[in-house]
Structure 1
């Protein structure tokens, strides 16, 4: 069953209405990118998905269960959240200990803890760094440590906040491979990002937001071909899409291959 937001509004204590009337569903195993400029409501929307924020109106359900009345810690067992800056999420003095924080909190036995930690390490490729102090690791590696700490848990949905920020090309390729494996396990990945190349390469479904509302929900080709959506969400057209338009080939190109096969 999915995460479902129905007519969701959220107002901050100062009265700012950050999201209004959002209807959104995320299915297990799905990849969804939420895009839009700062202040569009992206971060508020994903924090509503995992209980870091609660709706002031409307309902959020996870696998059919409302988030109302449930603790954030309990919701986090289903919906993991990886912050943009890993330093906001990593607390232990070495990576190995960091990966056992969730198992200790949930009082897992040693065998199950070892199984979950081994899986997370394998998924993220951080085996060489288990005995390192996270503060001594390069920023990209710390990002994968933060992801691993979430993947030790049993969440069916993972939210990635600006996951490519600070990653080089090899790091981005590693992230894409990780996402492929999560998809194969039926785990949904939701991202909020300003990296439109990453969106076009990795996300079959894109939601664009502006002024706290969803203004488009479709494929990357659909969203990036819509001039009105791009203007309202203050997004730039992908370079390859602009090239294809300039050549009068198509309005729906999102990858260079989309252009090459149309050139006589």
Structure 2
């Protein structure tokens, strides 16, 4: 049994979500008029406030990492089938006692995770040491990607607050002209002020929160696949045959996929 191959590509759910969000905004604009939903002052306060707060709360390196992670949600994760093939090939060399060839192959693998695992096997590291080192690498990945998702969740909390700030600024301006303004002018000012709150709510619930959820799901998939690769590394270290390693990893991949997608 071999693991199913899947080519990375544009995530259909992300594409549908973006299309749906755009359609929703167009529908709202058609119902109330584009002019009624456009507030330059509110847009500047909301976007500028979020940008300033992000710069104050996070380091520039963390912001760039979050932007890079954002780009990754538009594509599926690479399949680990090639990594499993490398594990099986490495196990075959180890079974034949071709240590030097195995070490040379391990140094050429694309995955840094596998490269480290193969080096530990060549060095005859104890199984407990391999578990400790590789689990530490997985934990570091979890911490790094959790920080990226947390950044977008923070922005989701800030967006409505700055939308409210822009609304308060609009209301203050309206109150300043209350004595001389007509009812129609008051209603117009109120409408403009409330549009800023709309900006904050849309950014929080249509942009930032979905991005955070997508990143968390991506991390869960990556960790599951890294655990499969770790199982393969341990099997090779324990001297299991290439056939046993291949069959076991195929089963692990199926089980992990079932867990992630809720299959029974």
TM range (shorter): under 0.3
Structure whose residues are more often helix by fraction:
2
Taking structure 2 as the reference length, the TM-score comes to 0.23
* TM-score normalised to structure 1 length: 0.23
Q: Which has the higher contact order (CA 8 A, sep 6+)?
A: 2
Q: Could you say which structure has the larger radius of gyration?
A: 2
